[in-house]
Every structure is written in structure tokens, then in C-alpha cells.
Amino acid sequence: MILAKYIRLIPLLLVPLCLTEAAAAQALTQYDLPPLPAQGYGITIEGGDAALFAAGGMLEPPSTGQSVSGTPIPYLYRLVENAEAWDAYPLEDDRAYAASVLGGNNGLYLIGGLVSGEPSRSAVLYRIDGDEVTSTGLPALPTALAFARAVIFDRKIWVIGGLTSMSPLHMSDSIFTLAIDDPDATWQQTPSPLPARLLPSVSTQLGSIIVTGGWSRDNADKTGWAARNDLWRYRTEGSRSGTGWTELTAAPFPVGDADGACVGQSHLLFTNLPAKGHADGFSKIMDVSRTNLPLVLAYNIITDSWFKLETLPALESRSRMTNWRVTERTGFKAMQKDVPVLFNFSEEGVHVSEIWVTPDSGSLGAYDYTLMGIYILVMVAIGLYYARKEKNSEDFFVGGRKIPWWAAAISAQATGASAITMMAIPALVYKESIVYFGANLFLGIIPVVFSAIFLIPIIRKLNIVSIYEYLEARFGKGIRLLGAGLYVVSQVAGRMGVVVLLPALALSSVSGINVYVCIIVTGMVAMFYTTLGGISSVIWSDVVQFGIMLGGAILCVFLILSRIDGGLSTFLEVSTDYNKWQVFNFSLDFTLPIFWILLLMAPVTAFMSIGDQAFIQRISSVKDVKSAQKATLWNYLWALPLQCSMWLVGIALFVFYKHFPMKLDLTKATDTVFPQFISGQMPAGLSGLVVIGILAAAMSSLDSSMNSVSTVIITDFYRNFKKNPTEGDCLKMARLMTVITGLLGMGAAILIASLNLASAQETFSRLMSLIIGAFPAVFTLALLTRRANSFGAISALIGGFVIVYLVQTYTSVNWMLYPVIAFVFAMFVGYFASLLTGGNRKDLTGLTVWDMPPEVESTSKCF
């Protein structure tokens, strides 16, 4: 009773912590670049790989009713990274206010524009070759055009907005596109769903075209012009906003002829914002004396939110923005990074500067590090405890077959969860909706039923340790070694690298510790207790880690609800408005995560569990078939609260950053949205608890991969090439392989850390589909058919690899369909290849669901 009394007081101790709020600020730092030697109007500004370009323009502002006969600027200027001055190259034509975009190899496209004072239909591609500029003529536009803007998207040039005539003034109501990979392509003209405008801001970010701002005729004053603030998004791939053009939240100020510069993976910055949303005439839009707002406006594409970033007095005069890709060095890592570049036009000249966004990040405190230290000590203690109980390799690989079924169930779920669940799933839900995971979870009962009825009785009766032992019995040693080898490669080069990297990113974000140090610490701790305690330490550490993961996720959701005005009602309203609760998408567009893809994936997922070595070890670690079946069922049931809590975290993060967009670091990858919240917004102490949850998620998968890879190496390779291995030989080599596997996994994580991935979940799935996507088909052929033979199995593997490579390379099919395509194609190829080569002629007793005897003795020499 006394203990219960004090337990009830624990929430009160957390109240002071919950009242603490961390603030996140974004600071802009300018780094001067050499000034642009040209000063004028209508100068094309573009940035590319380590180079900036400025082309054309005129010395006088354009006017209406007559051709502009001012002085042209017939030069192309280039500034390369680390150069001290701009290089100037003469141009053959005079062109101002052209739509421009930079293509491959820094080729500069100029489309339309004012030529000899009138809108032009011509288009040209310029490239700098040594000291000379080469030009290539492009197909002429269907109509003359100037004051338009352009981007490259979906391998096409898109030209939007502009004027088709100067006298009288007439705005374009079309969008023009040109396929850049087709030498015979011509411009395609389609009606624009956007209101007509000139000089709009046109950018590409997060797989979208973003159009905002520009100037249109003022409806209240027919002779005047109004600066627009509406925003439109175009997508060819599915999202919560669908495909095609969608109007989203308008800017809080008139955007006018501002440029949008990309920052990070989901933000745009805007300058050159007009102080007045009205211009008395066309020439006033271009007037050098026009006053602009001295601020930088930011837009988050994911949350559809605008916010003021910082005030820069120099922005009161005309400015342009673009991006260029430069090398950023952090420690021994060099990374290509897109950096905004500001061109500020004034009477003194054109000042050019890089704009770097520096967030004011939160950090962990002493209490947080103490909790993390305690967690690490507990994990080490588990490894030491079970190391004392290990007597042979059976204890190391399957825990002496004495693990309780409920612990095996929790361990299987924790292993499948990983840091991908704790970070990538909330990030993907934050970015899109639960459609990627909701239907798959509800359809997950299919793998449970299949495994309980077919897989578990076969595995337990065969009494095997490695699933690839079964492949040898069914198809021969060659298939066994090939399958085991690909499994090892997929784990070390794919899964382990991702699951180590994600928590390392989280820990680095919240603590400021170098990400490589975080990778090494996470990997070393998991490697230590896994090497010592084998599968027993893995399973029992997974049980502890599962509880931490679930508790940390629930804690975050409640904390976010307490921080949002309106709490639960606001949470539900905003998440519903943005379609975050979409579970099923019944579209027939197979570029989207539609219900039909998930329905097809359900049986494939069931067959994939056949070749999951970590799952096989867990159902082999319990005492009998009935216990293994109970563990399989409860593995699914434990997935419900864990997966749902991750969805809620992702949705809650979306709602939070919808209301507080300025608190999100503009420069960080989308996958770090959860650790950003932990470091910047959670009270001291609670941050450490949630970071432990992410570390637990990583270690629960990392330790399983280490142990499973070690099991496969010893069972499928070592005992095949080592004559008469003893129990001591197997145990020593298993521990050595665990260490080597852990080191390789950490190396893979360090390599992946140098890449700027938008979604680790998608990247991991794509890689796995390519390497081992066809293996579920091979196991299915082995278990459910009598005619499949070794030639058919090899044909299935080759066919699956080829089809996934072709689909990834040449189609836009959603990545969630890759396993289905690999499975169906490999099944077809494998079965008919077997028929063409005479089918199977060996005894299949105990090897298919149709030929199972009561018992089969183990073939493992180590047991």
C-alpha cells in the first residue's frame, strides 16, 4: 500500500519538467561572394554544381506601349566555387527577362525573354567549354513569351507565367513543357489551371513544383497591378494532396516577383517581397526605387506553413535568390549541399552572398546522460548474465530452446520494429499519412495464419537452426550457400547500416556529438552484449527495449497534445483536414501506396517470413510447436500498440510543426523530425527517456542481425568447410563472427551517413527488394510445390533481380510494389523453368507441406 501511494506521486514529479519549454530559433548567416560585375534589369540568375551564372539583361527597366531600346548586357557571367572573381563570356544575342533553368553539366537554358524589346519565341542552350561559350538552338515556343519563370521537373522544362505581348500587355494563360531527353521533342502547350501572372516564383522541392507570387492585373484598378500571394503545388506522384495542381495555403504577405530558394529537404526561402501589394503601372513593378520588406519568408512544404525567418535590412532593395551546390566539410566528411545565394541589387552594385541557416539546437542535460548510462549498463549486465549460462552453440543460437513463448513474441516484434519504426515511420507519417502502414498492419493477420499453420510445424519438425539448411535439403548445397551469402550481404550492407545510422542521427541531433561517434557507441554496446550472451541476451534485452519504445512514443504524444492550443480537438481537426488518417487508398494509380498494392503485399509478407532468419531463431528457441504458434500470434498482437503509437507520433509531429513551423530545423533531413522534437521541444530529463527509446529500437534490431548473421555463417559456411567442428570451435567462431559483423555494420552506417537520404525507410526497402526480393518465391516454391528443382530456384533468383532492377530504373511504380513484382515474376520463372528441365526427381519426404513425416532429426553437426 505504501509503495502504491508513492507510485501515484511520480506523475507529480514530472509536472515541473513538462512546464519547461525549449525554444528553437533559426539564424541566418551571410558569407560574401565576389560581387556581380553587371548591374541592370532582367538578368538571368541561376545556380548549379559549384557554379553561379548570370546572363543577359538590360540597363534600363522595361516599359509598355513601345519597344525597349535600352542598352543590353550581352554577357554570360560565371562564378565557380572558391573563385575570387566572375568570368565573363560574350553572348551572340541580346536577351532580358528570359525564363531560365540550369540543366545537366551546368547547361544554361534561356527561353523566350525580351529580344530587341519584344517577347521572343526563341530558346537556346548555353554551355561553357574552356574559354568559349557554345550555343545550341532549341525548338521555338508556340508563342512569344517574356517575364516567365522555368524549372526542370520530371525530365521536362516547365515554363510558367509571363507576357505574350508588350503592346498591348497580354499575360500567358498556358504552361509550356519540353522533354529534355528527346532530341525530336517540341514544346507542348497546355491550359494553365493557375491564374495568369508574370514573374512568378517557380521552384522544385520534395518531388513537387511550387508556384507562388507573381503579378496580375488588379481587379479593383484595371491600370494597376497586384502582387499575388497564392501558392500552388504540382505532383506527379501521390501524396496527401494527390496528383496534379493543388492550391495550398497562401503566403501571409504579397510575394510578388520573389524567388524561392531551397533549404533542406522541405523548405523554401523567399526574399524581394514588395512592401506594397499594388503597383500603379507595369513599370513600377521593375522600379529600382521600389521598397521591399526587409525580411526572409520561409515555407514548409510538408506542413503547408509559412513563417517569418529573419529581418535583413539590405533586402529593402531589389534582390534575387537561387541555389548552388557546394562542398560542406564536417570532420572527415565532405558532402554536397544546396545553399541559397542572395543577389542584392543597389546603386552601389550587385552584392552576392551565401545564406546559411543555423538552428539554435537543444541539447541533452546531465539527467538525460545519466539515464542513458543506466540503460547501457543494464544492457551490458544482461549480456554478462547470460554469458555465464552458455555451455554450447545451441545456447548461443537458440537459447537451449528454453525461452518463454511470450518473451520470444516480444523479441520478434522488437526486432522487426528497429529504429526504422521509431524514426522513419513517424517521419513518413509526418510527411504523408498512415496509408503506407495502416492497411499493411490490418492485413498482417495473413502472415500470422500462414506461419502458424504451415511454417512453424515444418521448421520445428525439421529441427533446424538456419533456414538455409532447408534449402540444401530441397535444392542442393549451391542454393543454400547462395541464399545464405545474399542474406549476410543484405543484413550487413543494408539493414544493419540503416538501423545503426538512424539512432546515431537522433543522438547526434539532440546532443551535438559527431554522428560517427554515435554510430560507434551504439554499435559497440549492442555488439558487446550480443557477443557475450548470444540469443538469450538478445531476446531479454529486446523485452526491455520494447517496453522503452512503447512508453517513449506514448509519452511524446501526450506531451505534444499538452503543447497545442485546443489539445485533442485541434489535433483531430488538423490531422483530418490534411488527410492524415487515410488507411486505404482505392485508386488504381500504381505509383501510389494504394490498397491493392498492400493487399498483394500481404501474402508476399507471409512468404517473406519463411526466410527471415531472426524469426526462425525465435520460433526455434521455445520448447515446442504450440509455444512457437503462440509466440507467432502474440508477435502480431504486440505490433498493434507499437505501430499505432508510431502513427500517433508522426501525426502529432505534423500538427505540432503545423502550429509552430519556426521550431523545426530547416536544414535537417525529414527522417530527423522526431529527434529534432526531442532535442528542441522536450523538457530536460524526458528527452533522455525518449532517446533511450530510439537507442532501444536500434539495438533490438542490430543485436538480432548480428546474432542471425553469425548463426548463418557458422551453420551454413563454417561447419560445411571445417572438418568435424567441436562445440568449442562453433561457440568461439560464433562470437568472432558477431564481432566482425558488428564492425562491418558500423562501417556500412558510416558510409550511408555521407548520403543525403530523404527517407531511410524507402531506401532500405528498395535495396532489400533488389538483393533478396526473389527469395520469398524460392522458399514458397520449395514448400508449396513438388515440381520445383534447383535450376528453377536459380532462375527465380535471377529473374527476380532483373525484374526489380528494370522496374526501379525504368518505371515510376511505387516502391511498395517491388516485393510483389519480384515474388510473382520469380514464382512464374522458377516454376516454369523447373517444368522445362523435368521437374523434381528426388524424395521430398519432410520437405513440403504435402510430404511431412511425424518427426525429422536435426542435421546440424554442432548440436
> Do the domain assignments include residue 556?
yes
In 3D space, the residue among 310, 337, 204 whose CA is nearest the CA of residue 266 turns out to be: 204
The predicted pLDDT at position 151 comes to 95
Strand order in the sheet with 201-205: 201-205, 208-212, 231-235, 244-248
Which percentage of the chain shows pLDDT scores above 70? 83
User: Which residues contact residue 813 at a Cβ distance below 8 angstroms, ignoring those fewer than 6 apart?
Assistant: 590, 591, 807, 821
The cell for 288 is: 529600382
**Using alpha carbons only, what angle is made at residue 658 by residues 652 and 659, rounded to the nearest 5 degrees?**
95
> Please, which pLDDT band fits residue 335 given cuts at 50, 70 and 90?
low
The predicted pLDDT at position 804 comes to 84
The cell for 180 is: 529534355
First to last CA, the chain: 50
At 730, give phi and psi (nearest 5°).
Answer: -60, -45
* Co-location of 268 and 416 in the same domain: no
71 or 114: which leads in pLDDT: 114
Domain CATH for 199:
2.120.10.80
The predicted pLDDT at position 862 comes to 38
Tell me: pLDDT of 186 over 90.
yes
Q: What is the mean pLDDT of residues 551-567?
A: 88
* Co-location of 676 and 822 in the same domain: yes
* Co-location of 114 and 172 in the same domain: yes
* Co-location of 285 and 351 in the same domain: yes
User: Which residues contact residue 267 at a Cβ distance below 8 angstroms, ignoring those fewer than 6 apart?
Assistant: 205, 298, 299, 300, 301, 666
Q: What is the mean pLDDT of residues 475-498?
A: 85
Spatial distance between the Cα atoms of 503 and 695, rounded to a whole number of angstroms: 6
> Do the domain assignments include residue 820?
yes
Spatial distance between the Cα atoms of 205 and 265, rounded to a whole number of angstroms: 7
Spatial distance between the Cα atoms of 650 and 560, rounded to a whole number of angstroms: 11
Q: What is the mean pLDDT of residues 518-524?
A: 84
The predicted pLDDT at position 92 comes to 80
pTM, full prediction: 0.77
Q: Which amino acid is at 847?
A: L
Tell me: pLDDT of 602 over 80.
no
The predicted pLDDT at position 361 comes to 57
At 68, give phi and psi (nearest 5°).
Answer: -85, 120
Spatial distance between the Cα atoms of 26 and 356, rounded to a whole number of angstroms: 10
> Please, which pLDDT band fits residue 195 given cuts at 50, 70 and 90?
very high
* Co-location of 619 and 709 in the same domain: yes
DSSP code for 316 = G
> Do the domain assignments include residue 663?
yes
Instruction: Give how far Cα 150 sits from Cα of 186, 524, 742, 795, Å.
Output: 16, 50, 48, 47
> Do the domain assignments include residue 75?
yes
- Total structural domains within the chain: 2
* Co-location of 228 and 185 in the same domain: yes
The predicted pLDDT at position 461 comes to 79
> Do the domain assignments include residue 18?
no
The predicted pLDDT at position 463 comes to 80
Tell me: pLDDT of 450 over 90.
no
The predicted pLDDT at position 549 comes to 82
* Co-location of 159 and 302 in the same domain: yes
Instruction: Give how far Cα 532 sits from Cα of 204, 435, 497, 528, 543, Å.
Output: 51, 41, 22, 6, 18
Q: What is the mean pLDDT of residues 174-180?
A: 95
Angle between helices 467-475 and 477-489 (to 10 degrees): 150
The predicted pLDDT at position 210 comes to 94
* Co-location of 469 and 541 in the same domain: yes
* Co-location of 107 and 214 in the same domain: yes
User: Which residues contact residue 238 at a Cβ distance below 8 angstroms, ignoring those fewer than 6 apart?
Assistant: 585, 587, 589, 591, 592, 593, 814
The predicted pLDDT at position 78 comes to 94
> What would you measure as the largest C-alpha separation in the chain, in angstroms?
96
Least confident of 173-187, 420-434, 462-476: 420-434
The mean pLDDT value of the chain amounts to 81
* Co-location of 290 and 185 in the same domain: yes
> Do the domain assignments include residue 842?
no
299 or 720: which leads in pLDDT: 299
User: Which residues contact residue 94 at a Cβ distance below 8 angstroms, ignoring those fewer than 6 apart?
Assistant: 56, 58, 72, 74, 115, 116
Instruction: Give how far Cα 471 sits from Cα of 68, 133, 480, 586, 792, Å.
Output: 79, 62, 5, 38, 13
> Do the domain assignments include residue 14?
no
* Co-location of 153 and 295 in the same domain: yes
Tell me: pLDDT of 91 over 90.
no
The predicted pLDDT at position 220 comes to 66
> Please, which pLDDT band fits residue 858 given cuts at 50, 70 and 90?
very low
> Do the domain assignments include residue 12?
no
Q: What is the mean pLDDT of residues 612-641?
A: 86
The predicted pLDDT at position 314 comes to 66
Q: What is the mean pLDDT of residues 575-595?
A: 72
Domain that holds residue 184: 26-359
Tell me: pLDDT of 282 over 90.
no
Tens-place pLDDT, residues 297-330: 899 999 999 998 877 766 767 788 898 887 665 5
Least confident of 214-218, 220-224, 750-754, 853-857: 853-857
Q: What is the mean pLDDT of residues 186-198?
A: 93
Domain CATH for 383:
1.20.1730.10
Tell me: pLDDT of 111 over 80.
yes
The predicted pLDDT at position 581 comes to 82
124 or 129: which leads in pLDDT: 124
Residues 848-859 as b/e (b if ≥16 CB within 10 A, e otherwise) read: beeebeeebeee
Torsion of Cα atoms, 390 then 393 then 395 then 399, to 10°: 150
Task: Write the DSSP string, 792-824.
Answer: HHHHHHHHHHHHHHHHHHH----GGGHHHHHHH
In sequence order, the β-bridge partners of residue 386 are none
For residue 3, count CB atoms less than 10 angstroms from its CB and return exposed for 0-12, middle for 13-18, buried for 19 or more. exposed
Cβ atoms within 10 Å, residue 541: 28
Least confident of 13-17, 406-410, 435-439, 818-822: 13-17
* Co-location of 51 and 156 in the same domain: yes
Q: What is the mean pLDDT of residues 215-229?
A: 82
For residue 195, count CB atoms less than 10 angstroms from its CB and return exposed for 0-12, middle for 13-18, buried for 19 or more. middle
The predicted pLDDT at position 863 comes to 34
Spatial distance between the Cα atoms of 27 and 30, rounded to a whole number of angstroms: 10
Q: Contact at 8 Å (CB) between 529 and 383?
A: yes
452 or 165: which leads in pLDDT: 165
